[in-house]
Structure 1
Amino acid sequence: MTNVESLDPADVTASVVEPPVEKVQHPGLALVLILVAQLMVVLDATIANIALPYIGADLNISQANLTWIVTGYALAFGGLLLLGGRLGDLYGRRLLFMTGLTVFAVASLLGGLAQNEALLLGARGLQGLGAALAAPAALALITTTFPAGPERNRAMAAYATMSGIGAAIGLILGGWLTGMDSPLGVDGWRLTFLINVPIGLLAAAAAPRVLKESERHTGWLDVPGAITGTVGLLGIVFGLSRAGEEAYGWDHWQTISSLVVGAVLLVVFVFIESRVDHPLLPMRIFANRTRATSFVAMMIAPAAMFAMFFYLSLFIQQVMGFSPLEAGFAFLPFSFGIVIGAGVASNLAGRIDPRYLAGIGTLLAAIALFMFSRITIDDSPAGALRSVTEGSVSTSYWADVFPFVALMAVGMGMVFVPLTLTAVHHVQAEDSGIGSGVLNTMQQVGGALGLATLSTVALHYINDTSETAAGPIAQAATDPSLVQQAVFNVSFTEGATHAFLVGSFMMLATSVIIWIFLNVKHTELATDGPEGGVHVG
């Protein structure tokens, strides 16, 4: 068998074609299983968001370390996705799919039973490992289950939709479970972890019955690449997180050393990948301009979207006074909107070039983020205190939040579908796991980097506004608790809106990249075969 990894893409001719997709007995059930697994690993990025205050109080976790419950999962997930994709190529995607789901279920059990900070954070990292094994295998299994054309487009649309709505479903489910009074005496936040256990184990048990195993390929695992890539990303995110904390800042030695070490390790990672015979991330996968553009866009766009979920969910609860369940349902329009956007993009993918679909989608999302940055509350001392004593602020959910949650959802649905198709189109059969792994890596790493970056922006304005607002508000009231909440409302709103503004510029940058560089035609998405056989860039 020819080792395609040793060939240059330019040497691969049209005579080398991807093996035909083997028909599975129950393709509908196979898709349902893949979607359930994808939903589980995606929603876990947000399901604990609303529960964070309760977790912190129960396990005595500091505010700074509390953020690692979110970023720790995203980093482990994104940092190990390439390894998961490569393992699927070498040892079989169905096997890795089952292994990942099992690891995820066990980690969820450990997290749900955790009695201290160390065990919970360790469980979140282990959940990320399980997700990293299952997610790339799930997307690659779609390409080996459904033939190219309308059938695969519909399956990809369903996958992209599930990836998009998973974050919103996680917030709703997290709000419901967090506020639940369990008859067994289990704290509600623990149920956000324990609910994954039966779902993951049942999905893993069902996989051999409805999914075909993929062909296994020879090769070696790139362990040095996995270590340098993952630790490098960890260093960058840790440094960005430290930069935003008042006790550290950009000039602190921990911030500087973390960023420098992270950057050096990522340079070493690229060097290793360009030299080893069996790289974790074959650099040739970026040689195609269409694919490289898709990867970059899928890194920046989710970064802004994840930050929107994080800050808007906190604003709705802590400033507007929504309960956990009400905050979850406030994001329900996102679920409907992304289904609409993905459906429109799926139906038009065969007639309109992906540049136009994804380009318009990013513009809609940028507008939504900009409108979030226009949210205001009465920041005068009297107005800030009045909003606390009366239990309401001038911000209206239906006028200031709902329209733009829906608009961003439609936009992101129009982004996810075409970019998912273009990111894995014409990838060599041996590299389909790596191709999907890079796509998922860009989403998760982009989300972690974006949240860390925008948190730095938000904390800068929160700290500055707290200092200037505290004195005047304290002079207008004698109750320390009222003063504290009023100062928080004013300062957090200032920080969150600046994060939204920066996020809107990030989304605009994504749109510019798509309009300029994503030039693949819609007619090419209906063909199969390796990248050398058809010109796609």
Structure 2
Amino acid sequence: MTTRGDTRPPAEAATEGRRSWLPLVSLFLAQVLMSFNVAALPVSLGGMVEDFGVPPTVVSSTIVVYGLVVAALVMTGAKLGQRVGWVTVFRIVVATFAGSAVLMIVSPSVGWAIAGQAVAGASAAVIVPSLVALIAENYQGTQQATAVGSLGSARAISGVSAFFLGGTLGTLVGWRPVFGIVLVLALAVLAFSVTLRADRGDPGVQVDVVAAAVIGGAVVLLTLGFNNLNAWGLFHASPAAPFDVGGLSPAPLLVLAGLVLGQAFFAWTRRRTAAGKVPLVDLGVLARPSERAAVYAMFVIVALEAALNFSVPLYIQIVQGRTPFDTALAMMPFNLTVFVTATLVVRLYRRYPPRTIGVAGFALTTVALVWLSFVVTNNWETLPTILGLFVFGVGQGALVTLVFNVLVTAAPASRAGDVGSIRGTAQNLASAVGTALAGALLVTILSVNVGRAVAEHVELPPSLVAQVDLDDVNFVSNDDLRAVLETTDATESQVEAAVGVNEEARLGALRLGLLVLAGISATAVLPAGRLPRYRPDEIPDPSGGTGGR
């Protein structure tokens, strides 16, 4: 690609000023570092529960704390990078990430582990925008597009490697050596960071403390609210809810409060910008419809990915009662496809505009989800199911890289940190929303399906339903259901009837849930249709020209 007004041949413009790929090694490994740490936490839950002697819900706080800290601080982290200098702050926070790994390795209690992940989250809040800024600083043109694509492939490969390495080490040695790998990765990132192009910070950049507090609170409330819609209740408060307001669940109230704070943040930022002061994030990077469309598209595709990543393990591990290894095998076609597609999709940028690739990507994810809703069975290793996951992976991998690249190339290097902070905030919120949507949707459909089936089934009398609460059952395995029924006066035929109802209701819930996700994917074609349509041999003018948009 060449810049608008550049009269040189495209080949000459593309090759002139090409830089070594060594700086990308550090940035690629930094993305692997963060993604591996996140993926290693679920793998280590069992070992930490046994080691610390606490319930799984307490240990899972490590995951919650990490995500909350990243999402709440990522915009502040971007401003720190602009003030201190991206290379300097990058090295500092990678070193603190290494310190968080040490905390995990030596932690004598779960409190230390939670503190370790809080440190890791604060470090990642700076690393996320740093990656974008350093890519913009070190690469241009097609090299920049390739570098952006590498971050998407790093996320995909990290999840697979974390499971296999973490599962192996956790089984043979223990959970602590898993974070020894995190420590080694952090040291490797530091070693390769010497190849990064140095930059100078701007001491005049001020951190808007008010905006940082408001957006941090908004993100925390939204994340907590969405993540607990299923546990605390979608509308009415469940027994697990920490409190209720007139019987209403606190989860939707937290979401509402988060939305209000989010609007307050945008109002404050616009007011500060109009006054000539430096805002926490420059909303100018979202000034054009195509850039806002890229953020919407990013939110939807990340939410869909999170929903699928929740639904498949839920069904395989909880419903079918199979191992995490079986889950990894079932998701392997998807993860590997995302890895390959995210890397190779940049080759299409020379032939097709982003709008065409974006619409095609959402068309693929929609077709894949519809296909899966019809072909999914109790066996995830069937060829039709693998084909559906493969097609979804192609669309997802292409879209994540594409929309990220649209934002990076549309903004000047000085605003790359703002792009990175928006990306980090959008992805964290989308992941929470996607997981919560999948959980609430599947459980609601399951409840309706089971309730209707129980009412219609002649072999399940009201007395048995009252004993095991069959009309309010959650996703449970057949073995667990049989164990519960053994404590009742159910006959063998009634037990088999209840198991049959459970099987059909679960499969029906999953299929209908996939169809709903397909509908959401289809609606995302609208924002994808507003992505840039500049010619493949052009790069949009970051200074503000509209180009071919």
Equivalent residue in structure 1 for 2:525, among 486, 504, 511: 511
Equivalent residue in structure 2 for 1:416, among 381, 400, 413: 400
Q: Offset at 1:230?
A: 1.7
Report what 1:45 is aligned to.
38
Report what 2:544 is aligned to.
532
TM-score, L = length of structure 1: 0.80
Q: Tell me, yes or no, if the aligned pair for 1:48 and 1:174 is still in contact at 8 Å.
A: no
Report what 2:331 is aligned to.
331
Deviations 1:49-99 (A, max 9, x none): 344455455545556566554443333223322222222222111122212
Report what 2:457 is aligned to.
none
Range that drifts further, 316-325 or 443-452: 316-325
Report what 2:197 is aligned to.
212
Report what 2:220 is aligned to.
234
> Greater relative contact order: 1 or 2 (C-alpha under 8 angstroms, separation 6 or more)?
1
What are the residue-to-residue correspondences of 1:341-490 with 2, within 5 Å?
341-374=341-374, 394-399=378-383, 401-462=385-446, 471=464, 480=483
Report what 1:268 is aligned to.
264
Describe the shift of the 1:247–1:292 C-alpha distance in structure 2 as closer, same or farther (beyond 3 A): closer
Range that drifts further, 163-172 or 272-281: 163-172
One-letter amino acid of the structure 1 residue matched with residue 346 of structure 2: S
Provide the rounded CA distance (Å) in 1 between the counterparts of 2:423 and 2:402: 12
Deviations 1:428-455 (A, max 9, x none): 3321111122123212221122212322
Report what 2:516 is aligned to.
502
Equivalent residue in structure 2 for 1:159, among 148, 151, 164: 151
Deviations 1:88-147 (A, max 9, x none): 222111122212222222223323444544443333332222112112212221121122
Provide the rounded CA distance (Å) in 2 between the counterparts of 1:53 and 1:496: 27
Provide the rounded CA distance (Å) in 2 between the counterparts of 1:129 and 1:464: 42
What are the residue-to-residue correspondences of 1:246-325 with 2, within 5 Å?
249-250=235-236, 252-253=244-245, 254-276=250-272, 277-325=277-325
For residue 520 of structure 1, give the secondary structure of its aligned residue in structure 2: coil
Deviations 1:496-518 (A, max 9, x none): 55543433333222222102x11
Q: Tell me, yes or no, if the aligned pair for 2:81 and 2:89 is still in contact at 8 Å.
A: yes
One-letter amino acid of the structure 2 residue matched with residue 199 of structure 1: L
One-letter amino acid of the structure 2 residue matched with residue 200 of structure 1: A
For residue 215 of structure 1, give the secondary structure of its aligned residue in structure 2: coil
Equivalent residue in structure 2 for 1:198, among 158, 172, 184: 184
One-letter amino acid of the structure 1 residue matched with residue 128 of structure 2: A
Provide the rounded CA distance (Å) in 1 between the counterparts of 2:39 and 2:515: 22
Q: Offset at 1:480?
A: 2.0
Deviations 1:275-297 (A, max 9, x none): 22111122222111221111111
Q: Tell me, yes or no, if the aligned pair for 2:535 and 2:548 is still in contact at 8 Å.
A: no
State the percentage of identical aligned residues.
19
Is 1:221 aligned to residue 214 of structure 2?
A: no
Report what 2:101 is aligned to.
108
One-letter amino acid of the structure 1 residue matched with residue 483 of structure 2: P
Report what 1:90 is aligned to.
83
One-letter amino acid of the structure 2 residue matched with residue 222 of structure 1: D
Residue segments in structure 1 that go unaligned for 5+ positions in a row: 1-12, 15-19, 378-393
For residue 172 of structure 2, give the secondary structure of its aligned residue in structure 1: coil
For residue 142 of structure 1, give the secondary structure of its aligned residue in structure 2: helix
Q: How many residues were matched structurally? A: 494
Deviations 1:242-267 (A, max 9, x none): 33226784453333542333222212
Provide the rounded CA distance (Å) in 2 between the counterparts of 1:442 and 1:373: 27
Q: Which has the larger radius of gyration?
A: 2
Deviations 1:448-474 (A, max 9, x none): 222123222233345556777695797
